[in-house]
Structure 1
Amino acid sequence: MDSDPDSSKTCRLHSVFWHMCSSEAEKSMFFNAYTVQGLKVEQRRVCIRNNILLGIKHEHNSMLYTRSLLCTGPYHQYPVPIPFRSRLLRIVDAMSIRLYEFPIEAVELIHLRYLTLTCDGRIPAAISQLRNLEKLLVTRHLSTKSLEDSSILPMEIWGMKELRYLRVEGCNLPNPSSDEVLANLSTLLDVNINSCTKEVLRGVPNIKRLGVRIQLELGDDGKSFHHLNNISSLGKLESFTCVVVNPDLSQDTITPPAPHSMFPVSLKKLSLSGLGYPWSYMGIIGRLPNLEVLKLRCYAFQGPLWETDYASFNELKLLSLEDTDLVLLRTRNASFVSLKYLRIKHCYNIEELPPYLPYGLRMLQVADCSLSVVAWAEKMKENDRENRIEKLTIDVHSSWDDEDLDL
């Protein structure tokens, strides 16, 4: 398992144990996986590791009673038919297969609880027929799309009361009717910032994890940031991610809302990218009482100096700085007292960092940074050898040191 406290989404397994688990699953008839040849007998749980097999009609006939279908082969950019003929399907993971349009036959699978797809078409209103669906995840094959095409979720989505996880890349969630609520929805990811209206957020009162995208228009005067002020109404929110897809950091006319108006005190994880906030806002973020993970990417904050307040970020365990114009980072006593992991990546302007590390730090990672940061990390390594009892891992990496670098 990965030791990073924020990496619960990933798991590494040695190939020996992977093959053992795979063979044991097949022996016990719990799960059957196929790479070269297809099904010989009907199976309730099927894992396809070569998506080409789905193009063989005979294989579909062997899946009429399949309950779980996982397509885990390498990403296939051309459509192959998915066996939606099995009316007993409860789980379909077909993200590694490209579909041009949403497969309308999928809405007839009334037992479906888990559905992941890759398609560029709109989600049909008939999706509401999947009354038992708990997780819906749709990614896009095309990375570029017009703003008009981003409003892809139908109003009927508010009738899917069992939804717990909803992620449709770049979508707009329409305002519900007066009394419609998705009480079970705890995760809402990749929505357009225009989805964060007061009406929508009232309809998802139990959200714990929220991810939004901001796509700036030409001549944007800051109106795209307006809905961020509504985030504070989510009293159960624990994780918030905000990404500006096409940041224009040369402009100084955009005035984003101050963080105290958008971050609820329940927040534990915060990831920001491309917002261009001034570092003075960090004083407010540092006082969030439950914040454990803070990731700042692509000029999330802008300016040469970040000076922390006294006794700030008391609960923070992971801090990640990536692609910033920061020059000086100065910390005051009693700041970052709980910090376990510190990452600094692609920061080429930093000249000054704190002369000491938090005593409880377990991992320091430096990747592709200025020589000043590398020298600082080496100095911290020497200090660790002299003064520390508990183990600290320091990893310093530069792309220039890669032997296979092709110039």
Structure 2
Amino acid sequence: MAGKTSVAVVFGGMSSEHPISCLTAANVVAAVDADRFDVVGIGITRDGVWTSWSPEQILALRAAEGLPEVTTEGHPTVGLQRFDDACHIVAAEAGQDPVRIDVVFPLLHGPFGEDGTIQGLFEMNGVRYVGCGVAASANCMDKHLTKVVLDEAGIPVGPYVVVRPHEWDDDRAGCLERIETLSYPLFVKPSRGGSSVGISKVRRPEDLVDAVDEARRYDPKVVVEEGIVGREVECSVLDGHDGATPRASLPGEIIVHDPDGFYDFDAKYLTGDSLATVQVPAELDEATRDRVQQVAIDAFRALGCEGLARIDTFVLPDGTVVVNEPNTMPGFTKSSGFPLMWQASGMSYPQIVSELLDLALERPLGLR
């Protein structure tokens, strides 16, 4: 691999978004510039076993029946180890040479991958990686902490109530009383999750307890948000080089075809365009587009993001832009908003992948 940069693509993971991570990895590996980069794969099973995958095995995930998954069958167990002033992939079985890696592309969505946990492991092993650091990853993964940081920075967020584990266990009536200060419909969400897994749209008070219990299946901490009447507009952000201002793409808009529905897991990944459509670029006047882009950049900076993020917003009828949530490792499937928005802005899919790796490689190690 002399002369090329060694890239470890990490995918799968222990969250409910495991199969989406597998699809993302296959798309990214297909787009890596083979003249500049050599790919080695690390697939993490649902129960946390790290396994070795070749680029060809990752690409084959696109042809899997149903949703793909990382398995241990035919894939040796591996881990990371730092020595000789570099990070290496080391096989658990004796007799296999370690593989030095220059940069990691963690394509993990949700808890134990997008929440700062694996980012801390990379930091301790002294290896550069694509995406946000430990604190930004953790804050952006937690919908409650995201809102706290954005509110402190003066960036609008919608009305919400947090339900912590001990509060629901010790004073359910008090939690429900606080929630009833919000206007219906409500969205009940796991605080630390993504891809709309575990989210319920609640229109009646009598459905609230079941919705909270459903969210708690995925995270004991729950956020209840007041439904916002506005357009769902997303904007992708890429970091600037060498400290320059981050860059915002043309925004995209989520068009939900069912007036009583929302952009849930099925609409994102399983039903094509029948439930919802991602319209890129969004049909916005120039002033509104500029506001969405500026809010996305402001949120990116306030949250301490690095590398990339997708900032999801609502555009209210009066033109106000309210942040819904950030996504620090958005999907890279063929229908995912992040690459679609940058493609509409003039970057090809392979260029996006190379840009993210270049941003990671130029970033200094240690505290930043």
Instruction: State the TM-score, normalizing by the size of structure 1.
Output: 0.23
Larger Rg: 1
Structure with the largest fraction of helix: 2
Normalised TM-score (structure 2): 0.24
